Structure 1
């Protein structure tokens, strides 16, 4: 049987990370279970390069930098963090929850906090991707923009037919030596003319109706070139040190019905203390719904605090309802 915790947090986005910090600050034993290989949820998936202006204490901060600081904060009291693990089963046995992941890992916990967001996003790949030579590099090509320092003064290729790829290219044009876009379609989805003009102003080469055909590596297995067929079916080889791809995402919702969780229009119904209809299971963040709900990063923080405090009371009815960090760390 698996290791036992006070709170098992399903979801390692901003809400889950803050919940982990707050719970461990209250000396609860915590595990975060995140389906993706990286932490940060939708902020890291969709907004790593975007500036965020509505989180208290930050006049402005990029999504990536916010997530980095939240991971640092969450790690202060060393919660257990499992990434690449998707929870498929939650059962209650002997007054504790038994969680099983898709890979068979078992976790025991007194309570559960659902901070899943709207679900797990899986990256789409174009059909031609299957025809590319199999390699370790092929399986490791990034599908989200993070670690921006890695792109400084590099030759970058963005393979995408969407607005996301255009935004990445524009952002990277201020860091990289050069940026080019390989678009398998004849146009970009949901991109305005002014954004296309910005690509031109930033000297970003755009190759339309282009099909990636190969990656060329140097003697140290580092990317040095990519090859593609242009719209005239001519093979073109261009220098490249970094490659990013984005062809859209598919959403996999968590199996709330299977877990017995009441939902309404795809969102979890919660009480004012963030409790679900299942005793001992709480929820917070974008996945919850109640009157007056706002889907902001900062909202998730307050919901996480409420959920953790009441999870603690569920475990120990004599626990203090809330604690102040200025008291704990004085």
Structure 2
């Protein structure tokens, strides 16, 4: 594959929820596409970081685990046999609207008429708290930044630190598994969905979660990398030790656009500004959707990335088929296009 360029209509960079749904939208518009992702499997952060995390903002799904969402998106595109290049990082993009050349780190070249960047947060890693000896506790798994299996945390004394959606969601998801669960935040106010805040109040009232505010992480205690207590401190310098064998700090991700920053596309603080009407970037023919895309009023929700995928693919249709009018029809009247 490295010797002969692969040809397609649309290259989709990133195979998380946004990329998978963009592939479905391409198929619905009879646009050939190819998915590229640096990870060994599709799903992006949903699979790599939190496969068992419940997601509540998917229409018609009161709650769905991240891995289940990816499985459903895979099922949706299965009839189209969409090709994918996994464990491939896109290093270079050359050419212009209607005639792009995409090169990966494995030596593969893909020719495409348009590009959709659905790379999520780009290259990412956790923001690590500045605690002495942290790396020793990371090596033993006493400190972790992602939850892949809730069962791994059964009957543990858990300290969750953070005040955003991830901290709230995991506190609520693990409260029934944990022996004891503390939620530490430097303020008494949390940044989360109103329903999550209500559920947190209920869990605190029921004794399932002990809220430790306003405190910050101060020190870790234990021997040979095995955690025994997390020390926290308030604004007055008063400290408190919380008996714990697991610390889960959720302070967001440190992101890096990586090679994307060299593709002659306008970027700003690790995101890509796009035109709200169709998600086209500053470089004609290249579109960005999902967490990596930015515009006024943007909501970082998976459901919004689905809308962006639809807008981008409809804008791409005239690039691929300049002489063919696109008469928009609802999927209920149109059905799924035949694959043969």
* TM-score of the two chains, using structure 2 as the length reference: 0.65
Report what 1:251 is aligned to: 255
3-state SS in 1 of match to 2:134: helix
Cα RMSD for the two superposed structures:
4.7
Select between 11-20 and 42-51 the one with higher mean Cα deviation.
42-51
Alignment match, 2:194: none
**What aligned pairs does 1:1-330 form with structure 2 within 5 A after superposition?**
1=2, 4-6=6-8, 7-25=10-28, 26=30, 28-34=32-38, 39-41=43-45, 49=53, 51-53=55-57, 55-58=58-61, 60-62=62-64, 64=66, 65-81=68-84, 86-92=89-95, 95-101=99-105, 104=106, 106-110=108-112, 111-117=114-120, 119-126=122-129, 127=131, 128-132=133-137, 134=139, 143-148=145-150, 150=151, 154-163=154-163, 164-165=166-167, 167-174=169-176, 176=177, 178-181=179-182, 188-192=185-189, 198-199=203-204, 201-203=206-208, 211=220, 213=222, 226-229=226-229, 231=231, 246-253=250-257, 256-263=260-267, 266-270=271-275, 272-289=277-294, 296-318=301-323, 321=326, 324=331, 326=335, 328=337
User: Offset at 1:259?
Assistant: 0.8
TM-score normalised to structure 1 length:
0.67
Task: State the 1:113 CA deviation.
Answer: 0.5
Cα–Cα, structure 1 residues 271 and 255, in superposed 2: closer, same or farther, change >3 Å? farther
Would you say how many aligned residue pairs link Structure 1 and Structure 2? 304
Return the alpha-carbon distance in structure 2 between the equivalents of residues 83 and 123 of structure 1: 23
Where does the alignment leave 5 or more consecutive residues of structure 2 unmatched? 191-196, 233-240
Q: Which runs of 5+ in 1 are unaligned?
A: 217-225
